[in-house]
Amino acid sequence: MNLFDQVSADIKAAMLAKDKIRLQALRGVKKEFLEAKTAKGSDGELSDEAAVKILQKMIKQRKESAEIYVTQGRPELAQDELSEAACIEVYLPKQMSAEELEQALKAIIEQTGAVGAKDMGKVMGMATKTLAGKAEGRMISETVKRLLS
């Protein structure tokens, strides 16, 4: 079962369970998936890799919104956003720990022959392709920067 079908089935389960937050999050996911499937230039299919990218973007948006709500003194809205993000994270592959990420990046740095900060672009290009869905882009970037310094 691909991610699109899984989300559709889970929407039904959330409706039956009367889980409003989860239902709202999953409906948002399905909307994004449908837009990607019907976008101009699309073949009408949505690969799991493309779906994972969409999910990561949605989680990032929810977390950024929560930060804004906290700074504006609206913790109840921030909690809703974080709850939705948690519902969406279930569909992502298992995220790498900091140690696993560092080991993978050290191997990539060795493979590319990078020696300093000027080689960060080479490392990031390979790392984002290799580690897509397994780690957040910001964490990859920060770790690469630290390792190359």
CA distances to 128, 144, 145 from 118, in Å = 17, 12, 10
CATH number at residue 141: 1.10.10.410
Considering the domain architecture, whether residues 128 and 107 belong to the same structural domain is answered as yes
CATH number at residue 81: 1.10.1510.10
Q: Report the pLDDT value the prediction gives residue 20, as an integer from 0 to 100.
A: 93
Q: Report the pLDDT value the prediction gives residue 122, as an integer from 0 to 100.
A: 84
For the record, the structure tokens of 127 come out as: 């790392």
Q: Report the pLDDT value the prediction gives residue 149, as an integer from 0 to 100.
A: 80
Provide block-wise average pLDDT over 10 residues at a time, the chain (149 residues). 88 94 94 90 82 89 95 94 92 83 87 81 84 79 85
The residue out of 89, 113, 138 marking a domain boundary is 89
Considering the domain architecture, whether residues 124 and 57 belong to the same structural domain is answered as no
Q: Report the pLDDT value the prediction gives residue 101, as an integer from 0 to 100.
A: 86
The residue out of 39, 67, 89 marking a domain boundary is 89
Considering the domain architecture, whether residues 77 and 102 belong to the same structural domain is answered as no
Q: Is 3 exposed, middle or buried (0-12, 13-18, 19+ CB in 10 A)?
A: buried
pTM as predicted: 0.74
Q: Report the pLDDT value the prediction gives residue 80, as an integer from 0 to 100.
A: 94
Domain count, the chain: 2
